[in-house]
């Protein structure tokens, strides 16, 4: 669980409308709670992890003289499900922000999922390994160097196409904007599908106010096009939506009212 500020989440929002929206969701402007919801799927013999959380360290991580405390619960929760990380066959990384990659390597730099194939978009890999990302926060680059770059000698699948299959019942959907190569995922079979939207929407308010931009998106225009693409897809196909940063477990539907969208959490 992390806390965000309205001034970063809704940078161009009208003040009065923003106050109304925050009131509706009962969140204070300086303390918007935001869980990090990774997902485990079991498909026959495959155990598929989607996103790896922020990671866990007993000791604080010291970076540039500052102490950071990462207390992600992924390993604890896998243990509770009686899943050993070595049983994970696939890890899908939707984009390379710290809260999605921090659990790939342990605090002492051991690969946590030694038998997994790691799926990620080629554009995401290229962006973070090129000068395009030079201006990104040093802490983000630190996470990439620790959790992503060392994967180059491991089993990785770099996704290139929109709507690329990642095995049975998982399809990757290009969802750029938040980052250069973010992906969303269609999970399940024709009759029962879930759309994993990752960080295309950081809060339900972004579904209802499609033009409100966040500080965390790389390209606002692309981010908005992706938002429309994903909502249309979910709506047309009757999919439920799973959102990484919404209230746990982050599942609901986007409903269309006239020209506006409305988020409804699943009961």
- Tell me which residues touch Zn ion (CB under 5 A): 99, 199
Query: CA-CA distances (angstroms) from residue 252 to 3, 130, 181, 244?
Result: 21, 37, 25, 12
Q: Provide the minimum distance between the beta carbon of 173 and Zn ion in the complex, in angstroms, as a whole number.
A: 17
Using an 8 Å Cβ cutoff, are 121 and 181 in contact? yes
Measured from the CB atom, the residue of 46 and 141 that comes closer to Zn ion is 141
Q: Kindly state the smallest distance separating residue 244's Cβ from Zn ion, in Å.
A: 5
Q: How far apart are the first and last CA of the chain?
A: 21
Q: Which is nearer to Zn ion, 199 or 208 (CB)?
A: 199
Residue 9 or residue 169: which is nearer to Zn ion going by CB?
A: 9
Q: Which is nearer to Zn ion, 2 or 76 (CB)?
A: 2
d(CA 119, CA 121): 7
Whole-number minimum distance, CB 95 to Zn ion, in Å? 8
Please give the Cα distance from 266 to 140 (Å, whole number).
33
Residues 150 and 142: their CA atoms lie apart, in Å, by 12
CB of 267 to Zn ion, least distance (A): 25
């Amino acid at each position: 669980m992390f806390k965000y500020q309205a001034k970063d989440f809704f940078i161009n929002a009208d003040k009065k409308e923003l106050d109304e929206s925050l009131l509706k969701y009962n969140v204070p402007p300086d303390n918007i709670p935001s869980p990090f919801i990774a997902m485990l799927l079991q498909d026959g013999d495959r155990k598929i992890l989607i996103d790896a959380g922020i990671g866990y360290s007993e000791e604080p991580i010291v970076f540039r003289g500052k102490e950071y405390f990462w207390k992600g619960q992924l390993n604890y929760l896998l243990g509770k499900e009686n899943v050993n990380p070595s049983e994970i066959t696939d890890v899908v990384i939707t984009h390379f922000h710290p809260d999605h990659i921090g659990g790939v390597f342990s605090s002492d730099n051991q690969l946590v999922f030694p038998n997994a194939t790691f799926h990620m978009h080629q554009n995401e890999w290229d962006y973070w390994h090129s000068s395009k990302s030079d201006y990104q926060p040093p802490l983000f680059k630190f996470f990439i160097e620790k959790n992503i770059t060392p994967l180059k000698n491991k089993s990785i699948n770099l996704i290139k196409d929109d709507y690329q299959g990642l095995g049975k019942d998982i399809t990757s959907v290009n969802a750029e904007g938040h980052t250069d190569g973010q992906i969303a995922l269609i999970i399940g079979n024709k009759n029962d599908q879930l759309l994993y939207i990752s960080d295309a929407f950081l809060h339900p308010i972004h579904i209802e106010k499609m033009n409100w931009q966040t500080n965390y998106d790389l390209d606002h225009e692309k981010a908005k096009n992706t938002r429309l693409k994903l909502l249309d897809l979910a709506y047309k196909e009757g999919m439920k939506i799973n959102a990484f940063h919404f209230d746990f477990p982050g599942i609901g539907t986007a409903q269309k009212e006239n020209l506006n969208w409305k988020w409804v959490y699943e009961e």
